[in-house]
Amino acid sequence: MNALGNTGFQDMSIDHVTLYVEDLDAKAAELARTYGLEVYATAVAEDGARSAAVGRERIRLVLTEAVADDHPAAVYTRLHGEGVADIALKVPDAAAAFAEAVRRGAQPAAEPAEQDGVTTASVMAFGDVRHTFVQRHEGVPGDRLPGYVPAQGHEPGAPTGLLEIDHFAVCLEPGELQPVVEFYERVLGFRNTFTEKIVVGSQAMDSEVVQNPSGMVTLTLIEPDTRREPGQIDFFIKNHGGAGVQHIAFRTEDIVRSVGTIRTQGVDFLTTPATYYRMLGDRLRLVRHSTDRLAALNILADEDHAGQLFQIFTRSVHPRRTLFFEVIERAGATTFGSGNIKALYEAVEAEQQG
């Protein structure tokens, strides 16, 4: 594609993720208690919202609650409920990244602005989700956010071993997959790293993975196949009110420890039929963990050409049953566990047949 020049697209990484929420205090407390995150900064914006930054290791989530009916967070939550509004990207030069993205066809959302030694600028991505370019000037702490002050009186949750955001899963409306892939390739210099059609019984979906050159920003883009029966992607689009982030995957180096801790702290995970684990040995030879330990926690296992992965999904507590989280451990694998979709379907079929 186009030369990346000095925009810093090739070196970008995830800076933080902004979620618009309806009850800031409750959501911040929940993430601290269950996922071991810490409220480290807060802000009261002049435009009618209050925010808190929570995080641990390389995970940073910004929670924003509207206190004015015309604030974007209020508009967003009325349409979608709580969800991801901005995937912010750290770059060496936010103004240059913004100018180049707009030159390549991105829709501008917020012009470059500097505050507290941090320059930001935003473009639209998919649905109502933005990408904000973030540049911190020399001497500015790596977690500084413009307009935020250090939080007081918040106890961090117990560590859970979650390290960073591995990827985002994005549900797109029919016909949007190729235009969104093309946007990431043409505008942000991403590359398409994996393409797959997933067929499960009478349902099907098309998936393409886009990733920036450094490998630090990865999105799995999914579109339903409307020639088949409606499935989970159709469900998300209907209940979310359009395209959006279905789940955020957090990476860990020990999924058994992380999931055990998070579950003890109150998170409910999806369960897996016992037949899945009885059939697991026919699919692969585990390089980490034992089948019994995986089964005890309902953790899934899969492998690709590069290695294995272990993953589990939380049960959505969203009122619309849309946004949820994933915990993933990679033992070399570079894909996203699509083999588990087929394996789970076959396990359920076997269980139903006795």
Give 203's strand partners: 200
Does residue 298 contact residue 271 with C-beta atoms inside 8 Å?
Answer: yes
Q: How far is CA 108 from CA 1, 20, 185, 234, 240, in A?
A: 21, 20, 17, 29, 24
CB atoms within 10 A of CB 181: 20
167 known member of a binding site:
yes
Closest CA to 129 of 212, 26, 241, 205: 241
Does residue 300 contact residue 313 with C-beta atoms inside 8 Å?
Answer: no
- Which are the contacts of 255, defined by CB distance < 8 A and separation ≥ 6? 289, 299, 310, 311, 312, 327, 328, 329
Q: What is the DSSP letter of 294?
A: H
Closest CA to 4 of 187, 144, 132: 187
* Angle (nearest 5°) at CA 285 between 282 and 291: 85
H or E segment and range at residue 310:
strand 307-313
| CA dist., res. 75 & res. 71, Å (int) | 7
154 known member of a binding site:
no
Give 309's strand partners: 302, 330
247 known member of a binding site:
yes
State how beta strands 218-224 and 162-171 pair: parallel
- Which are the contacts of 144, defined by CB distance < 8 A and separation ≥ 6? 116, 117, 118, 136
State how beta strands 38-45 and 49-56 pair: antiparallel
Residue positions forming the annotated binding site = 167, 247, 326
Q: Residues marked as binding for Fe cation?
A: 167, 247, 326
